[in-house]
C-alpha cells in the first residue's frame, strides 16, 4: 500500500546487492513492476531515495544510542551485545557503508548528519569507558589519550569492517556477524585489567 515504503525497500535490496552505481531508478521501478514515471512521482530525484534510506539508518542508530544510555550495568558482555546489534544495522544498510565516501560526496547533507551522529556516539562511548575504568574492568596504566583513540579505532572498524570483508573474505551474513563480533572482542581484550579471566570464554 505505502508506495514510498515499497520503493525504499526495493531500493535498499537492490543497492545492497549491486551498489548505487549500477542500480538506476529504472531498475528499482522494474523490480516493483512500476513505471519509471511513477517512481519519480514519489521521489523526484534519485538522491532523495538514498537520502531517505540514510535517514532510516540514522534513526535506528539513534535508537540504539538511547538504549545504551539507559543501560544500567556496563561490562564486557554488554559490549559484545552492542557489537552484535551494531552489526545488524551495518549489515541491513550495508550499501551505505560499502560506498560511504561516494554517497557523502554526492549528497553532502549526509556528511553533515553523519558528523553530528559521530559526535553523539563519541560522547556516549567516552562515558562508557569512564564507567569501565571506575568499574575496574579497564586498565589504568595507559595515558588518558588512549581512550579517544580507541573510540576512533572502534568507529573505523565498525564502519568499514564490511568493506574489508568485501575485499578479502566475502563471508555472508551469519559467518560475517560472528567474525565482526570477534573483531570487537579482540579490540577490547588488551584494555582489560584482567584479560586472563575472560579470554577463555570467547576466543
Partner DNA sequence: AAAAAATTAGTACATTTGTTCTAAAATAAT
Partner DNA sequence: ATTATTTTAGAACAAATGTACTAATTTTTT
Phi, psi of 23 (to 5 degrees): -85, 125
Rounded to whole angstroms, how far apart are CA atoms 181 and 25? 35
Q: Which residues contact 20 (CB under 8 A, 6 or more apart)?
A: 50, 95, 99, 102, 103
Stretch that binds a copy of itself, among 30-38, 60-68, 70-78, 155-163 (CB under 8 A): 155-163
Nearer to a copy of itself, 93 or 161 (CB): 161
Q: Which is nearer to DNA, 34 or 52 (CB)?
A: 34
Q: Report the residue from 43, 54, 61, 114 that binds a copy of itself according to the rule CB under 8 A.
A: 114
Backbone CA torsion sign across 55, 56, 58, 59: positive
Site string (44-83) toward DNA, x via CB under 7 A: xxxx------------------------------------
Please give the angle made by the CA atoms of 61, 65 and 68, to the nearest 5 degrees. 140
Contact stretch for a copy of itself (CB under 8 A) within 23-31, 65-73, 80-88, 107-115: 107-115
Grid coordinates of 140 = 589504568
Considering only 13, 16, 40, 183, the residue that binds DNA (CB under 7 A) is: 40
- 3-state SS class at 12: helix
Interacting partner of 44 out of DNA, a copy of itself, none (Cβ under 5 to 8 A depending on kind) = DNA
Residue 41 Cα to chain centre, angstroms: 31
Would you say 34 or 146 has its CB closer to a copy of itself?
Answer: 146
Cα 20 from Cα 22, distance rounded (Å): 6
The two most distant CA atoms of the chain are separated, in Å, by: 63
Q: Is 87 in the site for a copy of itself (CB under 8 A)?
A: no
Taking CB under 7 A as the criterion, the residue among 17, 41, 120, 199 binding DNA is: 41
Task: Kindly tell me the sign of the dihedral angle through the C-alpha atoms of 96, 102, 108, 113.
Answer: positive
Residues that bind a copy of itself (CB under 8 A): 19, 21, 98-102, 104-106, 111, 114-115, 118, 139, 141-143, 145-146, 149-150, 152-153, 155-157, 159-161, 163-164, 166-168, 182-183, 186-187, 189-191, 195-196, 199, 203
Amino acid at each position: 500500500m505505502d508506495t514510498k515504503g515499497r520503493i525504499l525497500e526495493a531500493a535498499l535490496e537492490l543497492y545492497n546487492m549491486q551498489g548505487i552505481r549500477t542500480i538506476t531508478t529504472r531498475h528499482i521501478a522494474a523490480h516493483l513492476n512500476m513505471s519509471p514515471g511513477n517512481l519519480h512521482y514519489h521521489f523526484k530525484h534519485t538522491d532523495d531515495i538514498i537520502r531517505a534510506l540514510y535517514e532510516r539508518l540514522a534513526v535506528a542508530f539513534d535508537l540504539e544510542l538511547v538504549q545504551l544510555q539507559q543501560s544500567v550495568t556496563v561490562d564486557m558482555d554488554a559490549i559484545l551485545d552492542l557489537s552484535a546489534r551494531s552489526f545488524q544495522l551495518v549489515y541491513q544498510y550495508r550499501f551505505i557503508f560499502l560506498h560511504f565516501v561516494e554517497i557523502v560526496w554526492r549528497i553532502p547533507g549526509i556528511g553533515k548528519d553523519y558528523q553530528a551522529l559521530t559526535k553523539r556516539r563519541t560522547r556516549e562511548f567516552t562515558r562508557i569507558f569512564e564507567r569501565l575504568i571506575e568499574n575496574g574492568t579497564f586498565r589504568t596504566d595507559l595515558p588518558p589519550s588512549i581512550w579517544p583513540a580507541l573510540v576512533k579505532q572502534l568507529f573505523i572498524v565498525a564502519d568499514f569492517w564490511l568493506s574489508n570483508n568485501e575485499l578479502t573474505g566475502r563471508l555472508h551474513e551469519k559467518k560475517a556477524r560472528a567474525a565482526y563480533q570477534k573483531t570487537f572482542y579482540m579490540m577490547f581484550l588488551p584494555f582489560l585489567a584482567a584479560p586472563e579471566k575472560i579470554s577463555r570464554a570467547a576466543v
